[in-house]
Amino acid sequence: MTATLVFTNGHIYTQEPSRPGATALAIRDNKILALGTNDQMKALLGPGGEWIDLAGRAVTPGLVDAHVHFQWYAINLTRVDLFEVPTLAEALRRVAAEAARLAASARPEHWLQGRGWSQDLWPGRGFPTAADLDQVAGHLPVYLSHKSGHAAWVNSRALRLAGVDAHTPDPAGGQIQRDASGQPTGILFETAMNLVADHIPPPSQAQIVAAMRQAQAQCWQAGLTGLHDFDGRESFLALQTLHQNGELGLRIVKNIPAYRVEHAVGVGLRSGFGDDWLRIGGVKIFADGALGPRTALMIAPYEGEPHNRGLAVTDKEEMMSIASQASAAGLSVTIHAIGDRANHDVLDVYEAVRHEEATQRPQAAPLRHRIEHVQVMHPDDFARLAQLNVIASMQPTHATSDREMADRYWGARAQY
């Protein structure tokens, strides 16, 4: 069999102990055909094939990102980018520029959306307000997601359209930030984000599919060939469309939101169901919030905030109910937990689930339950994590992006 593409003069890393490396690689129809020496691989090159001299460059297996909100990432590529913006003034300048563009082309009810802001990068580190946005985009409803995805910054028009005012109660698992008079400031934490987000017209399936096409090309450029997705039903449908059309170029493990667990169990979905390109992972639950907005659930209060221990997005009893139902149906469980109290509670849940599995299904292979992030954990819980055979799904980016915040808000606890 001949090759259509050959790479030579490289450092080919296989991660296969019996053959850890090679200097050349042959490809046919976008699949690896063979590994070997330069001469061996050149001999496989067929008529019209392409030969690329790597000149000593490295080739590794594709990377798999174990925590991605793929629809959120894809759609946000077309929105205002506020990542790493160093000042409030620069954030407002970008919002003003987008507002001017939309004013010339869009209907008055069009929503201005963006993502990536972090008040911890700005002088003073205070949260921004609706009044700040009103100055530059008061004529449009504005919704801007925090870098963490666990808070939103909205303007007064967005609050009015959503009917959020001083009399609106905090939803379960969320909080409306308020000023001294009780009025919403424009910052919404956790489930309170939905009070406004639910009023934003969602993108169509065609728009999501188109955005994912663009996004997967960006993933390839970063060396990603697979990812674990944590978005909802619309994301799953779009991924299926790409797969059916032969356009899915990433290997996807699709996790299921907790609110869909009954439907997933009812239609018989199990972890691992699918094929090499798109398969089911586990059921995703949120135990708490995040460090940036100080909503990660802690045993002791945040440094300098004696009344703030974060938020329980899902209480332990509900987590137990969801996890038990999923496990009994052959679905692994994946729980977002950042604070030490959240991680402790999640381990309590997994301890009970492992007991159910051992007593009710002793012959079944252990499900690969996970904790997403595991950013701070009480030392007493380290051994439990190992004993329960729970995967610590950790993201290296937090080690750099969050380290100053961790020291500031968690103090000595940050070492854990």
For residue 249, pLDDT over 70 is answered with yes
The pLDDT score that the predictor gives to residue 105 is 78
* Average model confidence (pLDDT) across the chain: 96
CA dist 278 and 110 (Å) reads 34
Domain housing 51:
3-61
Q: Based on the domain organization, do 150 and 220 belong to the same domain?
A: no
Q: What is the pLDDT confidence band of residue 128, given thresholds at 50, 70 and 90?
A: very high
The pLDDT score that the predictor gives to residue 148 is 94
140 contact partners, CB below 8 Å, separation of at least 6: 99, 102, 103, 108, 110, 111, 112, 155, 157
Q: Based on the domain organization, do 184 and 295 belong to the same domain?
A: no
The pLDDT score that the predictor gives to residue 109 is 58
Give the torsion sign (CA, 180, 184, 188, 194): positive
For residue 107, pLDDT over 90 is answered with no
The mean per-residue pLDDT over the stretch 195-208 comes to 97
The pLDDT score that the predictor gives to residue 350 is 99
The mean per-residue pLDDT over the stretch 29-50 comes to 95
Task: Look at residue 321 and give its three-state secondary structure.
Answer: helix
Q: Please report, rounded to a whole number, the percentage of residues in the chain having pLDDT higher than 90.
A: 95
Domain count, the chain: 3
252 contact partners, CB below 8 Å, separation of at least 6: 70, 226, 227, 228, 229, 239, 277, 278, 279
Q: Based on the domain organization, do 76 and 57 belong to the same domain?
A: no
Q: Please report, rounded to a whole number, the percentage of residues in the chain having pLDDT higher than 70.
A: 99
Q: Based on the domain organization, do 248 and 360 belong to the same domain?
A: yes
For residue 173, pLDDT over 90 is answered with yes
Q: What is the pLDDT confidence band of residue 104, given thresholds at 50, 70 and 90?
A: confident
Task: Give me the residues paired with residue 34 across strands.
Answer: 26
Of 61, 86, 101, the residue that ends a domain is 61
Q: Based on the domain organization, do 173 and 252 belong to the same domain?
A: no
Q: Based on the domain organization, do 78 and 53 belong to the same domain?
A: no
The pLDDT score that the predictor gives to residue 164 is 98
The pLDDT score that the predictor gives to residue 13 is 96
For residue 314, pLDDT over 60 is answered with yes
| CATH number for the domain that contains residue 309 | 3.20.20.140
Helices in 267-410 by DSSP H: which ranges?
Answer: 316-328, 340-360, 382-387, 397-401, 403-410
The mean per-residue pLDDT over the stretch 285-299 comes to 97
Q: Based on the domain organization, do 191 and 212 belong to the same domain?
A: no
Of 162, 197, 232, the residue that ends a domain is 197
Q: Based on the domain organization, do 222 and 113 belong to the same domain?
A: no
For residue 143, pLDDT over 70 is answered with yes
385 near 369, Cβ under 8 Å? Answer: no
The mean per-residue pLDDT over the stretch 118-146 comes to 97
Q: Based on the domain organization, do 225 and 293 belong to the same domain?
A: yes
Of 197, 222, 256, the residue that ends a domain is 197
| CATH number for the domain that contains residue 52 | 2.30.40.10
Q: Based on the domain organization, do 231 and 144 belong to the same domain?
A: no
Q: What is the pLDDT confidence band of residue 413, given thresholds at 50, 70 and 90?
A: very high
The pLDDT score that the predictor gives to residue 103 is 85
pLDDT tens-digit profile of 383-411?
A: 999 999 999 999 999 988 899 999 999 99
| CATH number for the domain that contains residue 113 | 3.10.310.70
For residue 106, pLDDT over 70 is answered with no
Q: Based on the domain organization, do 219 and 136 belong to the same domain?
A: no
Q: Based on the domain organization, do 261 and 379 belong to the same domain?
A: yes
Interhelix angle 205-221/233-244, rounded to 10 degrees, is: 70
More confident residue, 81 or 106: 81
The mean per-residue pLDDT over the stretch 157-174 comes to 98
Backbone angles phi, psi at 398, to 5 degrees: -65, -25
CA dist 394 and 280 (Å) reads 20
- Bridge-based pairing of strands 184-190 and 174-178 is antiparallel
